[in-house]
Amino acid sequence: MIKTPCPICNEQMRDHDEKEIEKCLWEFVRESKNPVVYASRKKTICPICEKEMLDHNTSETRQCVKQFVDDVKNLELEKED
């Protein structure tokens, strides 16, 4: 389950519409893969383990991003019921 607000826009993931989810999700994925580039602009807090993305090693990043993508997909499924 996602407990934290969106790491990109700071709104609750549940308050996103489909377009916003897609935008934030892919921005998060992109930033996570280049944490050094994006860290100079702002801190990104991992929505899964709540550490800074910069404090992740490569395999942690991969795991957290995958988990976040899965959780967001589950959120969308729940909404449709």
> Where on the chain is the footprint of Zn ion (CB under 5 A)?
6, 8-9, 24, 46, 48-49, 64
Nearest approach, Cβ of 48 to Zn ion (angstroms)?
A: 4
Q: Which is nearer to Zn ion, 49 or 75 (CB)?
A: 49
Q: Which is nearer to Zn ion, 44 or 78 (CB)?
A: 44
Residue 16: how many CB atoms within 10 A of its CB? 21
Measured distance CA(53)–CA(19) in Å, rounded: 24
Nearest approach, Cβ of 47 to Zn ion (angstroms)?
A: 8
Q: Which is nearer to Zn ion, 6 or 31 (CB)?
A: 6
Nearest approach, Cβ of 14 to Zn ion (angstroms)?
A: 11
Which of 53, 2, 3, 11 minimizes the C-alpha distance to 29? 53
Measured distance CA(73)–CA(67) in Å, rounded: 10
